[in-house]
Amino acid sequence: MASSIFTHISLLAGTHQHCSFIRGKAMKELPSIENAYLIIEDDHIAELGRMEDCKFQGTRLDAGTIVLPAWCDSHTHLVFAASREEEYIDKINGLTYAHIAEKGGGILNSAQKLNDATEDELFIKAWQRLEEIKLMGTGAVEIKSGYGLSLEGELKMLRVINKLKAKSELKIKSTFLGAHAFPKEYKDDHEGYLQLIIEKMLPQISNEGLADYIDTFCESGFFNTEEMIRICTAGKSYGLKPKLHVNQLNSIGGIEAGIQLGALSLDHLETLTENEIAQLGKYKGASTLLPTAAYFLRMDMPPARALINAGAAITLASDYNPGSSPSGNMNLVHSLSCIQMKLLPEEAINAATINGACAMELEKEYGSITVGKKANLIFTNPVPSLSYLSYAFGNNHIKKVMLNGNFIS
């Protein structure tokens, strides 16, 4: 059995005993041990405690080192064929969303490129993105389909995600997002596309075991609540729980419908009514916020403090995708959520670790530094305090990342 012992850890943060969603006021409690030791055996955490109780010799860490759980990023679209910086320049030059769509931009642009790409090309590009986020401390990630929008394209994306699952050191969950946008040929035949999703895509996805969850982009101009309910009800009959895009731009009933569907998470939430905030306060799943997407799209940030006051289980994710968040950097997500949404650093860490794990149903093995869980850890450079990590934004504070008990390079 391979084991390693680390001593004199300035702060071992996220040592939760109870692993379920943390919500409301409790989010500011981040269980931690100052001046700690930690023992890893093979791929898991074997023992931890205070230095005064440590009976072992081990690797003494530099003063100021904090050890945190690796980030659990529960919402990404990181399988895509090409970046879309031309749209970003168009927006700087003042073009509207409608103009960009007319020029063939947006999700349909990504779908065109994805359908033209081979499975191998997509795999290589997505693999590079996984390598990149791994070095930035992400240890578990959810990846959505949704740039195929055809039977072949959606299956191709989900097969790529399946290969990534099999080969990556990251723990991966996959979500079927066939209902991301109506493809051009179904622009005026929504019923036809719903039938394609429900009668063709879902049975084959289920047959091949290609998805863990189902998602719908519930938004004006995309899928309405009735369409989302039909798609998710069909998905649930194949065992896929909903994780949903709701209330990014408009409030059209996605929250209420999502709660009734028993969604595991409701994601985006930039545009919320008072009544919806109250509903999310009682909702047992994750209220997932994506601050880098709001930042990139120059939108108001989601009302995180109001959600916490209402009792919601806030979760933070990167939304890594070419259109609204071309970054999978969870350190930046952590910082932005403190600076722009006024989360306390402890709240943000809970939201991006244990609650992220819960939003992927991985909380038994990931999301905290708990005996028996996977040794997925971030070792920081020497820093003055936990708050410094989000305060000194944009700087790299990570010295090393450990996944499954091994330091990655």
Binding site for Fe ion (CB under 5 A): 319
Minimal distance, residue 77 CB to ligand NIG, in Å: 6
In the complex, what is the shortest distance from the CB of residue 107 to ligand NIG, in angstroms, rounded to a whole number? 5
Q: Which residue is nearest to ligand NIG (CB)?
A: 323
- Closest to Fe ion by CB, 112 vs 288, is 288
**Residue 352 and residue 262: Cα distance in Å, rounded?**
22
* Residue 318 interface partner, choices ligand NIG, Fe ion, none, CB cut-off 5-8 Å depending on type: none
Residue 315's binding partner among Fe ion, ligand NIG, none (Cβ under 5 to 8 angstroms by kind) is: none
Which contiguous run of DSSP H or E holds residue 348? helix 345-352
Q: In the bound complex, what is the minimum distance in angstroms from residue 90's beta carbon to ligand NIG?
A: 13
Strand segments (E) across 70-227: 71-73, 138-144, 171-179, 213-218
Least separation, in Å, of the C-beta of 191 and ligand NIG?
22
Decide which of ligand NIG, Fe ion, none touches 110; Cβ closer than 5 to 8 Å per partner kind: ligand NIG
Query: Least distance to ligand NIG from the beta carbon of 393, Å?
Result: 22
Q: Mapped to the 3 state alphabet, what secondary structure does 249-303 carry?
A: CCCCCHHHHHHHCCCCEEEECCCCCHHHHHHHHHCCCEEEECHHHHHHCCCCCCC
Nearer to ligand NIG, 77 or 374 (CB): 77
Name which of 54 and 293 has its Cβ closer to Fe ion. Answer: 293
Q: How far is the CB of 193 from Fe ion (least distance, A)?
A: 19
Query: Residues of 152-189 as b/e, b for ≥16 C-beta within 10 angstroms?
Result: ebbbbbbbbbbebeeebebbbbbbbbbbbbbbeebeee
By the criterion CB under 6 A, which residues form the site for ligand NIG? Answer: 77, 106-107, 110, 217, 245, 248, 293, 319, 321-324
Closest CB 217 distance from ligand NIG, rounded Å: 5
Task: Rank residues 142 and 346 by Cβ distance to Fe ion and give the closer one.
Answer: 142
Q: Which does 177 bind (CB under 5 to 8 A by kind): ligand NIG, Fe ion, none?
A: none
The Cα–Cα gap between 254 and 246 comes to 5
Q: Which is nearer to ligand NIG, 24 or 106 (CB)?
A: 106
Q: What are phi and psi of 358, to 5 degrees?
A: -60, -35
Cβ proximity to ligand NIG, 23 vs 268, nearer residue = 268
Q: Is 69 or 328 the residue whose CB approaches Fe ion more closely?
A: 328
Beta strands in 109-221 (DSSP E): 138-144, 171-179, 213-218
Max CA separation in the chain (angstroms):
70
The residue number with the shortest CB distance to Fe ion is: 319
Instruction: Tell me the HSE value of 347 on the side-chain side, using a 13 A CA sphere.
Output: 24
